Amino acid sequence: MRGRRKNKKKQIEISSLIDILFILLIFLMLSVRFTESRTLQDFNLPKSDANLVGDSTNEVSISISKESSYFLNGSPIQKSNLIRFIKTELDVAKNPTIILEMDVDSKFGDFYEITEIFKTKSISKIQISTLKK
């Protein structure tokens, strides 16, 4: 007499796999930062393929329009007041992230002057906003 083998179908338990994939999806959604222009002004930002991922703590947004209008965190500010803010009130010890938004048609001299001040203050965390291609 032969020994009978039972025909057991092997099944893979996928409920734990679904849980893990769902947790990974949530983690990915929370860790990726979607950066778009957050200002109320209508800037013609340059286009880029690069993605930006980073933290959003201690950010200072500086925007320059093509008419050489300056904005600090979305509020209009005079150029002299902005320069004074960067030189005196911007605390380098807190290691701020500077988000620089400039219109494509803005003057290069405006960009150079602001970044030169960052250089003298040893501010190195500068992000230049662009639009996704």
pTM, entire model: 0.55
Rounded Cα distance between 129 and 101, Å, is 5
C-alpha–C-alpha distance, residues 53 and 61, integer Å: 16
The pLDDT of residue 89 is above 80: no
Per-residue pLDDT, 65: 84
Q: Which tops the pLDDT comparison, 8 or 75? A: 75
